[in-house]
Amino acid sequence: MQSGKIAPSILSADFLHLEKDLIAAKQGGADLLHIDLMDGVFVPNLSFGPAIMQDVHRTVDLPLDAHLMVACPEDYLKPVLQAGASLINVHVESTKHIYRLIQEIKVQGVQAGIVLNPGTSFYSVVDLLPLVDNVLVMTVNPGFGGQEFIPAMTGKIKQFADFRREEGLTYRLEVDGGINEQTIVSCRQAGADIFVAGSYVFGHDLAQRIGSLKKAVQ
């Protein structure tokens, strides 16, 4: 098993000193940056748009993992590609045509991922799994940082990890929400590879916090 990757979620960064936080995240050992795009419709919160994402891309040399929490993800594909996404994660609940959208992302030469809300089951996305590069299991309700981890989600993570092994698939398994030094351990044991962390890392000593997460999943 490869070491787990840590993806700080810039939603919890200090936006008045974003450059400083981005550089500290890179120097502190971040493997990629998680970029939460919210439209206030799919989730009851607004974050920032592709223009900020593009600034992040210009500022720091790390892969950008875009998490689209928007009601019309098709409309965001081009702007997010132009903003430098390496991986585009789309909520399966946000579009009637998730299969087509995943195909369209892959044609652009970037990685394509699906995201599942806590109430969305493993079984509902099985047919997509041979196609995707990434599965993101939400371990909180999407929309806000700083929420409490939902322990029942580790069962869902395990379903994806078991299926991947049984079918010889290669998608990565990402978790997002309430990740800290304790919860990351149960996600790792269930089979997750990429760990998004917002409030646990930003607003603290980033190198120390990223380091302690990495140590837990090495």
**Annotated catalytic, 176?**
yes
Q: Which of 62, 70, 196, 216 binds ligand 5SP (CB under 6 A)?
A: 196
**Structural contact between residues 177 and 147, judged by C-beta atoms closer than 8 angstroms:** yes
**Structural contact between residues 4 and 194, judged by C-beta atoms closer than 8 angstroms:** yes
Q: Which of 30, 66, 90, 140 binds ligand 5SP (CB under 6 A)?
A: 140
**Left, alpha or beta for 191 (phi > 0: left; psi -120 to 50: alpha)?**
left
Examine residue 183 and tell whether it contacts ligand 5SP (CB under 6 A): no
How far, in Å, CA of 4 to CA of 63, rounded? 15
Nearer residue to ligand 5SP within complex by CB, 108 or 117? 117
**Structural contact between residues 181 and 212, judged by C-beta atoms closer than 8 angstroms:** yes
Nearer residue to ligand 5SP within complex by CB, 49 or 163? 49
Examine residue 199 and tell whether it contacts ligand 5SP (CB under 6 A): yes
Examine residue 177 and tell whether it contacts ligand 5SP (CB under 6 A): yes
Examine residue 176 and tell whether it contacts ligand 5SP (CB under 6 A): yes
How far, in Å, CA of 161 to CA of 138, rounded? 15
Binding mask 28-47 for ligand 5SP (x = CB under 6 A): ------x-x-----------
Handedness of CA 42, 145, 53, 108 (dihedral sign): negative
Outline where the chain has alpha helix (H).
18-27, 50-59, 73-82, 98-107, 153-167, 183-190, 206-216
Q: Which residues contact 157 (CB under 8 A, 6 or more apart)?
A: 137, 173, 175, 187, 190, 191, 192
Binding mask 66-85 for ligand 5SP (x = CB under 6 A): -x------------------
Is 34 labelled a binding residue?
A: yes
**Annotated catalytic, 39?**
no
Q: Which two tokens stand for residue 86?
A: 């390496």
Q: Which of 4, 5, 6, 12 binds ligand 5SP (CB under 6 A)?
A: 12
Is 17 labelled a binding residue?
A: no
Give the binding site for ligand 5SP (CB under 6 A).
Answer: 9, 11-12, 34, 36, 67, 140, 142-147, 176-179, 196-200
Active site residues per annotation = 36, 176
Residue set of the binding site for substrate: 9, 67, 143-146, 176-178, 198-199
